[in-house]
Amino acid sequence: MPTRHPLRLAIVTTMLAFTVPASANPDPSDWQSVVAQAEDQTVYWNAWGGDTRTNRYIDWVAKQMQAQYDVEVEHVKLDDTGSAVARVLAEKQAGNNDDGSIDLIWINGENFAAMRESDLLFGPFAESLPHFALTNATDNPEVVTDFTLPTEGYESPWGKAQITFYYDSAQTETPPQDMQALLAWTKDNPGQFSYPRIPDFTGSTFLKQALIELTDQEKALYQPVSESDFEAVTEPLWAYLDALHPHLWRSGRAFPDSGPNLRTLMSDGEISLAFSFYPTDAAVAVMEYELPESVRSYVLEGGTLGNVHFVAIPYNSPHKAGAMVLANFLLSPEAQAQKQSLAMWGDRSVLDIEQLDAETQTLFEQGDRHPSELPADALSNTLPEPHPSWMTALQNAWLERYGVN
């Protein structure tokens, strides 16, 4: 039997190590190995970049990831998450299964459904993240459900959103409390309200909010749209919008591009009633002198639409370990408290804060409630999101009816 030379063995072992593909999938259940593999990786995080507050939070996250884990985070700013989904699909069709351009996507709803349907996501991984347990998913099923669809570990929660209206109390004493009251209010206050142009997600959410309240077939919204008579279910919505549009900002002939643009109209005094998908949006804007101190927030009497937003890892990400470490950091009490802070973003936490130890709970204390902020219990009536197929169908129908402007 030939003698094994120690140096030659070491060289061969090293060569074998380098032949292991860099994109080999890490095992989410072996967390120490995941963290070790993540070191020195660059994670390309595709996330909506249309608001300075989300951007500054992601900048903060990137600094923390570099300092704590030696992982670099590049924020690839998106106008439309659908473009990132299309990119991953194109890479799959081109046979690029190992070296994709996206490592993490901020995602939910119809985009998650599309990626799952086309097998474009890596997983399951979410429930293996050490900080996932802090969401207490058993008592909070919304962190494992996305627009009626079970996430099955293919995306990790990191924030909560809910439609919140805000108004200038110096101009309006009693704001409208439901959709019919909103129509009456716009007739009495022409040009003082609008909603973002479809397919912006804030504008699309307004359509769903209105449809839930106006249709007499609400149960149909929580099944695939193909199982219902779309025209019959949505007829009250189009009749409502036909009546509403002539009384909107610019008589409904133009729409702001996004939620932040809607806020800018309020800041410029062009409108006096608006809404956001972030409950603290108005309060943060008042604190930063973007809106007048007379602005107040509220939700509709029948509740408003809300959801959880997630991050997911494309199946062909070459930096899955780094992406998982980033997703886990986003669920840490440190990152969740910083995100919820009005001084940073004001996005609600997905953690079950009452289950945290007393010391950790102090991270989430923000002192006295800001006058422009909602009361603590105002968001207790959250309307669930319809099936994701309704979002796409509503957007297409809106564009066909009103998109020529």
Residue labelled with tokens 């998908």: 277
8 lies in some domain: no
Entry pTM: 0.88
Residue 301, CA distances (Å) to 150, 176, 179, 211, 383 in order: 29, 9, 10, 16, 12
Q: Is 324 left (phi over 0), alpha (psi -120 to 50) or beta?
A: alpha
Check whether residue 105 and residue 226 sit in a common domain.
Answer: no
370 lies in some domain: no
CATH number reported for the structural domain that contains residue 106 in this entry: 3.40.190.10
Percent of the chain with pLDDT over 90: 87
Check whether residue 154 and residue 225 sit in a common domain.
Answer: no
Check whether residue 178 and residue 145 sit in a common domain.
Answer: no
Check whether residue 260 and residue 398 sit in a common domain.
Answer: yes
214 lies in some domain: yes
2 lies in some domain: no
Q: Can you tell me the distance from the alpha carbon of 270 to that of 153, in angstroms, rounded to the nearest whole number?
A: 44
Check whether residue 268 and residue 394 sit in a common domain.
Answer: yes
10 lies in some domain: no
Residue labelled with tokens 């973007």: 290
Q: Can you tell me the distance from the alpha carbon of 42 to that of 208, in angstroms, rounded to the nearest whole number?
A: 37
Token pair for 75: 């924020």
Task: Count how many domains the chain has.
Answer: 2
Token pair for 132: 């996932």
Token pair for 118: 């086309």
371 lies in some domain: no
CA–chain centroid gap for 288, Å, is 23
212, burial (CB in 10 Å: exposed 0-12, middle 13-18, buried 19+): buried
Q: Do strands 295-298 and 273-276 pair parallel, antiparallel, or not at all (unpaired)? A: unpaired
pLDDT for the residue numbered 122: 98
Check whether residue 131 and residue 54 sit in a common domain.
Answer: yes
pLDDT for the residue numbered 126: 98
Summarised one tens digit per residue, pLDDT across range 194-204 is: 999 999 999 99
128 lies in some domain: yes
Q: Which residues of the chain have pLDDT under 50?
A: 1-23
Check whether residue 88 and residue 49 sit in a common domain.
Answer: yes
Which amino acid is residue 22, in one-letter code?
A
Check whether residue 49 and residue 171 sit in a common domain.
Answer: no
Check whether residue 194 and residue 284 sit in a common domain.
Answer: yes
Summarised one tens digit per residue, pLDDT across range 168-215 is: 999 998 999 999 999 999 999 999 999 999 999 999 999 999 999 999
Q: State whether residue 16 is helix, strand or coil.
A: helix
pLDDT for the residue numbered 78: 95
Neighbours of 273 (CB within 10 A): 20
Q: Please name every residue paired with 94 in a beta bridge, in sequence order, or none if there are none.
A: none
DSSP annotation of 374 reads: P
pLDDT for the residue numbered 146: 95
DSSP codes of every residue in 227-248: GS-HHHHHHHHHHHHHHHGGGS
pLDDT for the residue numbered 12: 37
pLDDT for the residue numbered 334: 98
Domain extent for 293: 164-298+380-402
Is residue 253 within 8 Å of 405, Cβ to Cβ? yes
Check whether residue 391 and residue 261 sit in a common domain.
Answer: yes
Is residue 400 within 8 Å of 230, Cβ to Cβ? no
Q: Can you tell me the distance from the alpha carbon of 198 to that of 37, in angstroms, rounded to the nearest whole number?
A: 41
Residue labelled with tokens 């991270």: 363
The contacts of residue 151 (CB under 8 Å, 6+ apart) are 112, 126, 144, 145, 310
Check whether residue 74 and residue 127 sit in a common domain.
Answer: yes
Check whether residue 249 and residue 395 sit in a common domain.
Answer: yes
Neighbours of 196 (CB within 10 A): 23
pLDDT for the residue numbered 370: 87
User: For residues 301-332, b (16+ Cβ closer than 10 Å) or e, as one string?
Assistant: eebbbbbbbbbbbbbbbbbbbbbbbbbbbbbb
207 lies in some domain: yes
Is residue 315 within 8 Å of 121, Cβ to Cβ? yes
